[in-house]
Structure 1
Amino acid sequence: MTQANPLDGFSVERAQIGYVGNELQRPECILAEADGSLWSADARGGVVHIATDGTQRFIGQSADTRFSAAGSASVAQMESRLTTGTLPNGLAFCADGSILISNFGSDRLEVMDREGRTRTLYDSIDGQPIGKVNFVLRDSRDRIWLTVSTRVNPWTQALATGVRDGYVAVVENGRLRVVADGFSFTNEVRLDAREEWLYVVETTGPCITRLRLDESDPAQVRLTDRQLFGPAHLGGMPDGIAFDAYGNLWCTLIMVDRLVAITPEGELRTLLDDGDAAASAHLMRRFDDRSLTSEDMQRARGSIAPWMASITFGGPDLRTVYLGSLLGTRIPFFRSPVAGLPMVHWRAPK
Structure 2
Amino acid sequence: MAGNPIDGFEVDPATVGFIGEGLQRPECILAERDGSLWSADARGGVVHIRPDGSQHLVTQQLDERFSANADEAERFTTGTLPNGLAFDRDGSFLVSNFGTDRLERMTREGQTAVLADTLDGKPIGKVNFVLRDSKGRVWLTISTRIVNWMQAISPNLADGYVAVFDEQGLRVVADGFRFTNEIRFDAAEEWLYVVETTGRRITRLRIDDRCEVTARETFGPDDTGGFIDGIAFDSHGNLWGTHVMSDRIFAITPEGDFRVILDDDNPAPSKVLYDAFARDAVTPDLMLACGGKLAPWFASVTFGGPDLRTVYIGSLRGTRIPFFRSPVAGLPMSHW
| TM category, shorter | over 0.9
What pairs up with 1:285-304 in 2 under 5 angstroms? Answer: 285-304=275-294
Tell me whether 1:249 sits opposite 2:268 in the alignment: no
What residue in structure 2 maps to residue 54 of structure 1? 53
Which letter maps to 1:299? A
Deviation, structure 1 residue 133: 0.1
Structure 1-normalised TM-score? Answer: 0.94
Structure 1 equivalent of residue 107 of structure 2? 113
Map of 2:3 onto structure 1: 4
Please give the alpha-carbon distance, in whole angstroms, between the structure 2 residues aligned to 1:143 and 1:247: 22
SS of aligned partner of 1:160? coil
Partners in 1 of 2:68 and 2:267 — Cα distance? Answer: 52
User: Residue 153 of structure 1 is aligned with which of 118, 139, 147?
Assistant: 147
Q: Post-superposition shift, 1:115?
A: 0.3
323-332 or 289-298, which deviates more: 289-298
Q: Indicate whether 1:30 and 2:24 are aligned.
A: no
2:332 aligned partner, one-letter code: P
Match of 1:102, SS?
A: strand
Structure 1 pair 92–168 and aligned structure 2 pair: CA distance change class (3 A): same
In 2, Cα distance between equivalents of 1:116 and 1:199 = 30
- The worse-fitting range, judged by mean Cα deviation, of 275-284 and 243-252 is 275-284
- The residue type paired with residue 19 of structure 2 is V
- The aligned runs of 1:148-297 (5 Å cut-off) are 148-215=142-209, 220-297=210-287
Aligned to 1:14: 13
Cα pair 2:33 2:305 within 8 Å, conserved: yes
Question: 1:344 offset after TM fit, Å?
Answer: 0.3
Secondary structure (helix, strand or coil) at the match of 2:152 reads helix
What count of residue pairs does the alignment treat as equivalent?
A: 336
Q: Per-residue deviation at 1:272?
A: 0.9
Paired residue type of 2:254: P
Contact 1:260 1:268 in 2 (8 A): yes
Instruction: Tell me how large the CA RMSD over aligned residues is.
Output: 1.2
Measure, in 2, the Cα distance between the counterparts of 1:288 and 1:320. 36
Task: Report what 1:142 is aligned to.
Answer: 136
Q: Tell me if the contact between 1:160 and 1:293 (Cα under 8 Å) persists in the aligned partners.
A: no
Question: Shift in Å at residue 312 of structure 1?
Answer: 0.2
Q: Alpha-carbon deviation of 1:292?
A: 1.6
Q: CA deviation at 1:78?
A: 5.0
Shift of 1:15: 2.9
Unaligned runs of 5+ in 2: none
How many Å apart are 1:75 and its aligned residue?
6.2
Report the equivalent of 1:85. 79
User: Which is further off, 80-89 or 237-246?
Assistant: 80-89
Residue 247 of structure 1 aligns with an amino acid whose one-letter code is G
Residue 314 (structure 2) aligned to one of 311, 316, 324: 324
How far the C-alpha of 1:77 sits from its partner, in A, is 5.1
Question: In the aligned structure 2, how far is the partner of 1:6 from the partner of 1:316?
Answer: 19
Residue of structure 1 equivalent to 2:331: 341
Q: Contact 2:242–2:300 at 8 Å: present in 1 too?
A: yes
User: How far off is 1:167 after superposition?
Assistant: 0.2
Change in 2 beyond 3 A, CA 1:76/1:55: farther
Secondary structure class of the residue paired with 1:344? coil
How many angstroms apart in 1 are the aligned matches of 2:120 and 2:251? 36
* Aligned-residue offset at 1:223: 1.4
Cα distance, 1:152 vs. partner? 0.9
Give the structure-2-normalised TM-score: 0.98
1:279, distance to aligned residue in structure 2 (A)? 1.2
